[in-house]
């Protein structure tokens, strides 16, 4: 008798949120983008491309949809935003926007923190607010074994999303269009029982 045993597997969820007002989110993000309200003013920092956004009704709705979608597929793993509004921590470490103009991209990175994995990001999300063909693909990079690096490409579309384990390295290819590409990113943690 042969038995197949998975030591581990990594999955991600993708789909489309029809009820999210992408135009309203784009308007809010662009106002802040044009005021240079970024996470880090140092142009060499990866957080320099991250735009601070409001936790308005649209973003609250989006966070709620991400939680419900994740929990529908993983009911034993409820999640919540990686942000505790009762203490003075930066809320934009849990939700932010990324705006890319022509030629811009995001380097390979992941969202977990070795120093704070217990209480930090376990599930991350991307929601495409404004994009068009050629504005950059979302790419997961993974290693089925130590000697083999593979990539999995997601073609973004307005209203589309990806929900994934925060430890999965990913990057975004160059925006080859003259239009701004806008994405909302979020980090979630597993709820304490």
pLDDT reading at 193 higher than 70:
no
pLDDT category at 88 given cuts 50, 70, 90 is low
pLDDT in tens, 117-172: 777 899 999 999 999 999 999 999 999 888 999 999 999 999 999 999 999 999 99
pLDDT category at 6 given cuts 50, 70, 90 is confident
Q: Round the average pLDDT of the chain to a whole number and report it.
A: 92
Q: Provide the pLDDT for residue 192.
A: 78
Q: Provide the pLDDT for residue 85.
A: 57
Strands (E), the chain: 12-16, 50-51, 79-81, 95-100, 106-109, 123-130, 138-145, 148-154, 160-165, 170-172, 181-190
Q: Provide the pLDDT for residue 77.
A: 94
pLDDT reading at 114 higher than 80:
no
pLDDT reading at 13 higher than 80:
yes
């Amino acid at each position: 008798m042969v038995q197949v045993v998975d030591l581990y597997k990594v999955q991600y969820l993708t789909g489309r949120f029809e009820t999210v007002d992408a135009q309203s989110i784009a308007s809010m993000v662009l106002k802040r983008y044009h005021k240079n309200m970024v996470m880090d003013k140092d142009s060499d920092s990866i957080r320099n491309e991250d735009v601070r956004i409001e936790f308005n009704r649209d973003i609250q709705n989006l966070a709620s949809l991400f939680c419900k979608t994740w929990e529908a597929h993983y009911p034993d793993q409820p999640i919540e935003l990686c942000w505790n509004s009762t203490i003075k921590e930066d809320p934009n470490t849990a939700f932010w926007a990324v705006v890319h103009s022509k030629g811009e991209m995001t380097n390979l990175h992941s969202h977990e923190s070795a120093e704070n994995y217990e209480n930090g990001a376990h599930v991350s999300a991307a929601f495409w607010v404004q994009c068009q063909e050629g504005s950059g693909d979302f790419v997961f990079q993974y290693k089925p074994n130590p000697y083999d690096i593979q990539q999995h490409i997601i073609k973004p579309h307005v209203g589309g999303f990806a929900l994934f384990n925060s430890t999965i390295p990913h990057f975004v290819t160059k925006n080859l269009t003259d239009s701004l590409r806008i994405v909302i990113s979020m980090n979630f943690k597993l709820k304490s029982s």
